[in-house]
Chains A and B, each alone.
Chain A
Amino acid sequence: MHNDKFISKSEIGIFIFALALPFIFDFSPYIQGLLIFVVLWVVLGTSWNLLAGYTGQVSFGHAAFFGIGAYAAGVPFFLFKVSPWWGLLFGGITAVILGYLLGIVVFRLRGPYFALGTLAAAEILRIAFGQEEWLTNGHNGILYMTTWVSKYPYYFIILAIAAGTILTVKVVMRRREGYYFLSIREDEDAASAIGINASKYKNISMGLSSFWAGMAGAFYFIYMGFIDPETVFALHNISIISILVGIIGGVGTIWGPAIGAIIMVLLQETFRSAFFGFAPQWVSGMHAFVFGLLVIFVILYLPGGVVGDWDLIRKKLHLKRKSEMKK
């Protein structure tokens, strides 16, 4: 780990490319929206990955942080007409506080019980935010006229949040905290025997992870102009997809969740649009089905994900090309 350069040239290249993208191409609003969603999922997947992939605490309730971040922007607006833009300040912090409180309960649990505990906690929040209408307007949700019509400003904001998330992981993984996270993931008992206070460092990991998920949530409200509990606390569409994005791309790798996010959104849109109109209409209902199959395939054959098992993939492709050349 410690021989890698902190930021490689190709990483800077990718970031500049992402920044320049809107200036190079004249995208339709539809494509602009997709770009924003890809980057949003990069944030969610990466923040889940810090807690699960690097620290070994497989959360099934990441929607809790996303949702609370969204409502940190939404509730002050709903109650006092405070601009949702303050959410970019409060969203992350509120999520960290929630993470700390949740940690008191769920970090007593290990393995699958931790997974269930986080899932239950997120579901309780979803139900509670639907019921407490005085605070959240319940299932009617909170509506707000977005600031700009153009999508580009939002694209740059979420890109900045994504850069912050990825940088956080990169910085942390070169410090004591990162080594401690990995030690806890690999063997909690062995970690405590070398002086690691496991519960303290799990909390730190949860704090960092929830901060960026909360920021993503606040951004979501600012960008979409509408939230309701069923959307932002969704078990499947947020918590589970965060996990799957990580798995497909590769848990415990910096760029895995980013690759996973791109694959997920591309796949979804390719199918939803029935291969951009080239395939029969019924195909459009199959996107989640195909995504599920992809998950099964990856878990079976690429347990390290696309990034983690990249060498394996390259070897397979290489062999194929060789055997084709022989023919």
Chain B
Amino acid sequence: MEMFLQSLISGLLVGGLYAIIGLGMSLIMGVLKIINLAHGQLMMVAMYVSWSAWNYLGIDPYLSVVLSVPFTFYLAKFLSKYLLNPLIEKDSILPENQVLMTVGIGMVLVELARFLFTSDYRSVQTSYTGQAWDLGGVSISIPLLIAFIVSLLLTAGLFYLLMKTDLGRSIRATAQDRLAASLMGVSAEKITVLTYGIGSALIAAAGTFFLPIFYLYPDVGPEFTAKAFVITILGGLGSTVGAITGGIVLALAETFGATYLSSGYRDAYGLIIFLLVLVFLPGGLKSLTKV
């Protein structure tokens, strides 16, 4: 029973973190209609920014969010403006050339990180690293809890942005129908760039709050890219609530699968569910609740 509760709680907390990774991807997929295979790599960049701030300047990783998020935001805007947007007009044999471009971008980011920081595993040591609450045999990691709360706040913030602001309305309009939106006076090009920026800023925030929990190394990204698209497909494209469900489902599948089935297959559970959902529930889990 304790093992069950422990799995459940860890699963839920990690699920909250996964949700923000998924949110960013979901936003980008919804508006740009591409799979961003540089997603985790941008998160890695943000983590190195925070790690550097901690290592060289002694700034607490929770504070360095004010550095890592804007840095990643502007970097992503630059990438999408000069590398992704120009491809929309280009005629290429494979329609996936934007996706392939994100592969190239991811590769350059990883290798740049390897060059600057070497392949060594890094981590930050703070007063709260490794601290946990003990609730009758079930332990709750403090950094994980903080990250969970932050991810809830970010989700709420994004929800507000999308639903209540003009910018959000423009983003949703572009996601639904790019041409119609541009006829209504929305600059689809600007919105695309901005969306890629915001989506990346979200994972940047996630990355920074992961720093006290996970090790950091140049190749940390791809694993999270994979998680991000699993979450997005699970939750259904372009859905805020869906990203949360997807995040939690993935995290629970991983923790329970690892506890009760086999821990070696931990990373495969998500992918298996992902394939099943892709084939049998193309609308994601939310299509189950639709009548």
Instruction: Show the binding face of A for B, using Cβ within 8 Å.
Output: 52-53, 56, 58, 105, 108-109, 111-113, 115-117, 119-121, 123-124, 127-128, 130-131, 185, 235-236, 240, 243-244, 247, 251-252, 282, 285-286, 288-289, 291-293, 295-296, 299-300, 303-304, 308
**Does B275 lie within 8 Å of A121, measured CB to CB?**
yes
Contact B94 A52 (CB under 8 A): yes
Interface segment out of the listed B67-75, B82-90, B167-175, B179-187:
B82-90
B108 at interface (Cβ–Cβ under 8 A)?
yes
**A236 and B222 in contact, given A115-B96, A131-B264, A243-B103 (Cβ under 8 angstroms):** yes
- A105 and B279: CB pair below 8 A? yes
| A300 and B83 contact, CB distance less than 8 A | yes
B265 touches A56 (CB 8 A): no
Q: Which residues of chain B are near A130, meaning CB under 8 Å?
A: 264
Residues of A within 8 A of B112 (CB): 289
Q: Is the CB of A115 within 8 A of B99?
A: yes
For the complex, give the distance between the alpha carbons of A293 and B230 in Å: 28
Which of B83, B91, B96, B112 has the most CB atoms of chain A within a 10 A radius of its CB? B96
- Let me know if B96 and A296 touch, CB within 8 A: no
Question: Would you call B100 and A243 a contact (CB within 8 A)?
Answer: yes
Contact present for A299 and B265 (CB under 8 Å): no
Q: A112-B35, A303-B97 are in contact. Are A286 and B103 (CB under 8 A)?
A: no
Once bound together, how far apart are the Cα atoms of A240 and B275, in whole Å? 20
Check B97–A295 contact: CB distance below 8 A.
Answer: no
- A-binding residues in B (CB < 8 A): 34-35, 83, 86-87, 90-97, 99-101, 103-105, 107-108, 110-112, 114-115, 222, 226, 229-230, 233, 262, 264-265, 267-268, 271-272, 274-275, 278-279
Residues of B within 8 A of A299 (CB): 87, 92, 97, 100-101, 104
Q: With CB as the reference atom, state the residue of chain B lying closest to A102.
A: B275
Q: Which of B94, B112, B233 has the most C-beta atoms of chain A within 10 angstroms of its own C-beta?
A: B94
Contacts of B35 in A (CB 8 A): 112, 115-116
Residue numbers in A under 8 Å from B226 (CB-CB)? 119-120, 123
Apart from A58-B99, A121-B275, A288-B107, list 18 A-B contacts with CB within 8 A. Answer: A52-B94, A56-B94, A111-B95, A116-B35, A120-B274, A123-B267, A123-B271, A127-B267, A127-B268, A131-B265, A240-B107, A243-B100, A286-B111, A293-B108, A295-B107, A296-B104, A299-B100, A303-B93
Report yes or no: A251 in contact with B94, Cβ–Cβ below 8 A.
Answer: yes
Give CA–CA (A109, B278) in the complex, Å: 8
Please give, as numbers and ranges, the residues of chain A lying within 8 Å of B222 by CB-CB distance: 235-236
**Are B34 and A112 interface neighbours, CB within 8 A?**
yes
> What residues of chain B lie closer than 8 Å to A243, measured between beta carbons?
100, 103
Complex: how many Å from CA A56 to CA B264?
Answer: 35
Report the nearest B residue to A121, measured CB to CB: B275
Q: Which residues of B contact A108 (CB under 8 A)?
A: 279
CB <8 Å contact, B94 and A296: no
B83 shortest CB reach to chain A, Å: 6
| Chain B, Cβ-Cβ closest to A297 | B104
Q: How far is the CA of A247 from the CA of B99 in the complex (A)?
A: 12
- A109 and B93 within 8 A (CB): no
A300, B81: Cα distance in complex, Å:
12
**Contacts of B34 on A, CB cut-off 8 Å?**
112
Q: Is the CB of A111 within 8 A of B96?
A: yes
Q: Is the CB of B96 within 8 A of A295?
A: no
Give the residues in chain B near A128, CB-CB below 8 Å. 265, 268
Q: Give min CB distance, A218 to chain B, whole Å.
A: 25
> Is B108 touching A289 in the complex (CB atoms < 8 A)?
yes
* Most B Cβ at <10 Å: residue of A108, A243, A291, A292: A292
> Can you list 28 contacts pairing A with B, beta carbon distance less than 8 Å?
A52-B94, A53-B93, A56-B94, A58-B96, A105-B275, A105-B279, A108-B279, A111-B95, A112-B34, A120-B226, A120-B274, A124-B268, A124-B271, A127-B265, A128-B268, A130-B264, A131-B265, A236-B222, A240-B103, A247-B100, A251-B94, A289-B107, A289-B112, A289-B115, A292-B111, A295-B107, A300-B83, A300-B86
Residues of chain B lying within 8 A (CB to CB) of residue A120: 226, 230, 271, 274-275, 278
Contact assessment for A304 and B92 in the assembled complex, using a CB-CB cutoff below 8 Å:
yes
- Minimal Cβ-Cβ distance residue in B for A287: B111
Q: Considering the chains assembled together, what is the distance between the CA atoms of A66 and B119 in angstroms?
A: 27
How far is it, in angstroms, between the C-alpha of A130 and the C-alpha of B95 when the chains are bound? 34
Question: Considering the chains assembled together, what is the distance between the CA atoms of A250 and B12 in angstroms?
Answer: 46
B156 to chain A, nearest CB (A): 29
Measured in the bound complex, the distance between the Cα atoms of B274 and A121 in whole Å is 10
Per the bound structure, the CA–CA distance linking A295 and B94 in Å amounts to 15
- Please measure, in the bound complex, the distance between the C-alpha atom of A308 and the C-alpha atom of B271, giving whole angstroms: 35
Report the bound CA distance from A130 to B265 in whole Å: 9
Chain A residues contacting B279 (CB-CB under 8 Å) are 105, 108-109, 117
Shortest Cβ-Cβ A-B pairs, 8 listed: A292-B107, A289-B111, A295-B104, A292-B108, A303-B92, A127-B268, A131-B264, A296-B104
